């Protein structure tokens, strides 16, 4: 509703102030372009979706594995964790050209960019989840004779699932963004390529089409993860309903 | 036959000696309570038997094997139910077995039904009341394969009425299973009502100051707690605790 209202105001302001379309096109024109230019755009969209999904899967797997290793081996956690935080302070825009120099224009540098933006939220969320496991549950498990592996697989991992999913949801939206940024590096197809072309030829309506679809893809990815979470962490939802 | 035997065990945390020269023996099939003031190191004793802590001195034998610092030799029921929230009741009660090897689902189902929790067998813990959760935790302990069950003030978080019905329920289940039980409590009445023998702990550093045989026959019913002999014993224990705690 709010979104619709914003679109109406936008439309009215553009029409009343007679803003030229190359500066700010009205929503109706954007939607029109989305429909007429679909055959051209869909190729780009498809390749971006593939790239985001692949990057997301790789990034979140690496994120989860990193969290597990850091959690199970405390010495590594203490020495590596600060490095991980530092890695998040390197601006991707600066790193991107370097990656191209090292790995060329292929898939590799793009996946590295997406992985870099994806893995961190998951690692942090999962580590917190592991550590927040209640002491009373850990105490029971240890008294009952659970070894380190059992403690992790039967208690800490399932306990941290809600936290892991929070991380996954953040990473999912990041992965689409990461894919678009990585396409700026140079690619044949992709929403990033489409956007660069559109903005350099002052096709502002196309830039907005790209933005619109980036948001839609992010939302769909988010919704899919939410759905998986509902299925896997059913106990948590039930517990909260009761409260 | 002596099942569990603790000989001359001492344990301290830094400068602070918590247990000093503790001796106790538990026979097979016996229900023994450890009674002591709060902070007297009861939980430390359990952590020693459970192998989470290692004593500085002395030995702990279970079935003639030394189990100092060895985890998983006993079955355990903690103060809070400690059920895993993502497991159903049935999946929760088999956890103790699962950690030690094989699970017996049929036995578990049978026990849940016997405990009057049949309709909750596929429910999650948060759907149960506090008393029911403790029943589940006790069934989990009963189903665990170890030869002795440690109960750590299992009813202390329950209200008085629930506590009474839980004690009766526990006795009922126990009398048909006759597992060896070591029960920690600070409630005199509870210790008298449930056990064959009561060990009274001193204040820190803890050691056993008296070993009382409970003179009542089994099966016991709730009228017992109002009989003269029961009240007499309660009074005796009360004074013995008071003497050692305050003087």
Quote the Cα angle for B156-B161-B163, to 5°: 30
Query: Which tens digit of pLDDT belongs to each residue from B113-148?
Result: 888 888 888 888 888 888 889 889 989 998 888 888
Between CA A31 and CA A28 the distance in angstroms is 5
Using an 8 Å Cβ cutoff, are B36 and B200 in contact?
yes
User: In chain A, which residue's Cα lies nearest the Cα of B80?
Assistant: A136
Q: Which residues of B fall within a CB distance of 8 Å from A143?
A: 46-47, 50, 52, 71-72, 74, 76, 78, 150
Q: Which residues of A fall within a CB distance of 8 Å from B84?
A: 137, 154-155, 158
User: In chain B, which residue's Cα lies nearest the Cα of A150?
Assistant: B99
Classify burial at A83, counting beta carbons within 10 Å of its beta carbon; exposed 0-12, middle 13-18, buried 19 or more.
exposed
Nearest CB neighbour to B52, from listed A143, A150, A161: A143
Domains of chain B: 2-73+181-246 (3.40.50.300)
User: In chain A, which residue's Cα lies nearest the Cα of B126?
Assistant: A239
| Residue B37 neighbours by CB under 8 Å, 6+ apart | B186, B201, B203, B241, B245
Distance from CA of B27 to the nearest CA of A (A): 21
Distance from CA of B148 to the nearest CA of A (A): 12
Q: Can you list the alpha helix ranges (DSSP code H) found in chain B? A: 42-49, 89-93, 95-100, 105-114, 130-143, 160-177, 188-194, 228-246
Classify burial at B63, counting beta carbons within 10 Å of its beta carbon; exposed 0-12, middle 13-18, buried 19 or more.
middle
Instruction: List residues bridging with B2 in a β-sheet.
Output: B27
User: In chain B, which residue's Cα lies nearest the Cα of A134?
Assistant: B82
Q: What b-and-e string marks burial along B79-117, b requiring 16 or more CB atoms within 10 Å of the CB?
A: bbbbbbbbbbbbbbbbbbbbbbeebeeeebeebbeebeb
Distance from CA of A239 to the nearest CA of B (A): 6
What are the structure tokens assigned to A20, written together?
């030229």
Nearest CB neighbour to B50, from listed A143, A154, A158: A143
What is the structure's pLDDT at A238? 67
Query: Does A140 sit within 8 Å of B127, measured CB to CB?
Result: no
**A232 CB neighbour count, 10 Å cutoff:** 15
Nearest CB neighbour to B86, from listed A140, A143, A235: A235
* pLDDT above 70: residue A243: no
What is the structure's pLDDT at B246? 58
User: In chain A, which residue's Cα lies nearest the Cα of B144?
Assistant: A144
- For tokens 């999946």, name the residue: B91
Angle between helices A27-36 and A204-232 (to 10 degrees): 80
Domains of chain A: 38-237 (1.10.3720.10)
Distance from CA of A138 to the nearest CA of B (A): 9
User: In chain B, which residue's Cα lies nearest the Cα of A153?
Assistant: B99
User: In chain A, which residue's Cα lies nearest the Cα of B124?
Assistant: A235
Q: What b-and-e string marks burial along B195-227, b requiring 16 or more CB atoms within 10 Å of the CB?
A: bbbbbbbbbbbbbbeeebebeeeeebeeeebee
| Residue A212 neighbours by CB under 8 Å, 6+ apart | A30, A34
At A159, phi and psi to the nearest 5? -65, -30
Between CA A126 and CA A161 the distance in angstroms is 8
Nearest CB neighbour to B85, from listed A140, A144, A239: A239
Between CA B87 and CA B55 the distance in angstroms is 35
Nearest CB neighbour to B99, from listed A150, A161, A242: A150
- For tokens 């959760």, name the residue: B133
Distance from CA of B71 to the nearest CA of A (A): 5
Between CA B143 and CA B21 the distance in angstroms is 33
What is the structure's pLDDT at B10? 86
Query: Does B78 sit within 8 Å of A142, measured CB to CB?
Result: no
Query: Does B99 sit within 8 Å of A146, measured CB to CB?
Result: yes
What are the structure tokens assigned to B27, written together?
């026979």
Between CA A159 and CA B219 the distance in angstroms is 42
* pLDDT above 90: residue A27: no
What are the structure tokens assigned to A113, written together?
């960019």
Query: Does B84 sit within 8 Å of A158, measured CB to CB?
Result: yes
Best residue of A134, A142, A145 to probe chain B, by most B CBs closer than 10 Å: A145
Using an 8 Å Cβ cutoff, are B57 and B8 in contact?
yes
What is the structure's pLDDT at A237? 65
Query: Does B126 sit within 8 Å of A145, measured CB to CB?
Result: no
pLDDT in tens, chain B (247 residues): 788 888 888 888 888 888 888 888 888 888 999 988 777 788 888 888 888 888 888 888 888 888 887 888 889 999 888 999 999 999 999 998 888 888 888 888 888 888 888 888 888 888 888 888 988 998 999 888 888 899 988 888 788 888 888 888 888 888 887 889 999 988 888 888 888 899 888 887 887 888 888 878 777 877 787 888 888 888 888 888 777 765 5
Among A29-43, A84-98, B16-30, whose mean pLDDT is lowest?
A: A84-98
Query: Does A239 sit within 8 Å of B124, measured CB to CB?
Result: yes
Query: Which tens digit of pLDDT belongs to each residue from A220-233?
Result: 999 999 999 988 88
Using an 8 Å Cβ cutoff, are B32 and B194 in contact?
no
Query: Does A142 sit within 8 Å of B99, measured CB to CB?
Result: no
Q: Which residues of A fall within a CB distance of 8 Å from B80?
A: 136
Nearest CB neighbour to B126, from listed A142, A161, A239: A239
Q: Residue B78, preceding bond cis, omega within 30 degrees? A: no
Quote the Cα angle for A24-A25-A31, to 5°: 145
Best residue of B124, B136, B138, B140 to probe chain A, by most A CBs closer than 10 Å: B124
What is the structure's pLDDT at B174? 84
């Amino acid at each position: 509703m709010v979104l619709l209202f914003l679109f109406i105001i936008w439309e009215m302001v553009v029409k009343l102030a007679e803003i030229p379309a190359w500066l700010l096109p009205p929503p109706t024109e954007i939607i029109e372009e989305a429909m007429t230019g679909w055959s051209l755009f869909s190729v780009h969209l498809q390749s971006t979706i593939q790239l985001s999904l692949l990057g997301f899967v790789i990034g979140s797997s690496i994120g989860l594995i990193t969290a597990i290793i850091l959690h199970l081996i405390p010495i590594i956690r203490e020495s590596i964790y600060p490095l991980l935080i530092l890695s998040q302070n390197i601006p991707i825009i600066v790193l991107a050209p370097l990656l191209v120099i090292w790995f060329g224009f292929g898939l590799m540098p793009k996946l590295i960019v997406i992985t870099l933006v994806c893995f961190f939220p998951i690692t942090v969320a999962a580590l917190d989840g592991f550590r927040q496991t209640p002491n009373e549950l850990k105490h029971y498990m240890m008294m009952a004779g659970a070894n380190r592996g059992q403690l992790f697989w039967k208690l800490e991992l399932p306990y941290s699932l809600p936290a892991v999913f929070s991380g996954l949801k953040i990473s999912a939206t990041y992965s689409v963004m990461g894919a678009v940024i990585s396409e700026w590096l140079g690619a044949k197809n992709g929403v990033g390529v489409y956007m660069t072309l559109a903005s350099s030829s002052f096709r502002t309506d196309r830039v907005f089409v790209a933005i619109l679809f980036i948001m839609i893809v992010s939302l769909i990815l988010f919704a899919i993860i939410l759905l998986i979470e509902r299925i896997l962490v059913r106990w948590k939802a039930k517990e909260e309903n009761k409260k | 036959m002596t099942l569990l035997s603790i000989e001359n065990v001492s344990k301290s945390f830094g400068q602070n000696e918590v247990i000093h020269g503790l001796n106790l023996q538990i026979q097979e099939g016996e229900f023994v309570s450890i009674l002591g003031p709060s902070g007297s190191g009861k939980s430390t004793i359990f952590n020693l038997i459970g192998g989470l802590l290692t004593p500085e001195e002395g030995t702990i034998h279970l079935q003639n094997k030394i189990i100092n610092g060895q985890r998983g030799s006993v079955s355990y029921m903690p103060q809070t139910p400690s059920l895993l929230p993502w497991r159903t009741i049935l999946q929760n009660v088999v956890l103790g077995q699962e950690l030690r090897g094989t699970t017996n689902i049929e036995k578990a189902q049978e026990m849940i039904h016997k405990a009057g929790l049949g309709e909750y067998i596929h429910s999650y813990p948060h759907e149960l009341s506090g008393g029911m959760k403790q029943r589940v935790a006790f069934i989990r302990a009963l189903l665990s394969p170890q030869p002795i069950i440690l109960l750590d003030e299992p009813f202390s978080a329950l209200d008085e009425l629930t506590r009474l019905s839980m004690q009766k329920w526990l006795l009922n289940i126990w009398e048909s299973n006759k597992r060896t039980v070591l029960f920690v409590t600070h409630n005199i009445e509870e210790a008298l009502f449930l056990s064959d023998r009561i060990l009274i702990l001193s204040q820190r550093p803890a050691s056993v100051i008296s070993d009382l045989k409970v003179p009542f026959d089994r099966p016991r019913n709730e009228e017992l707690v109002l009989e003269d002999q029961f009240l007499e014993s309660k009074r005796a224990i009360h004074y013995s605790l008071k003497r050692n705690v305050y003087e």
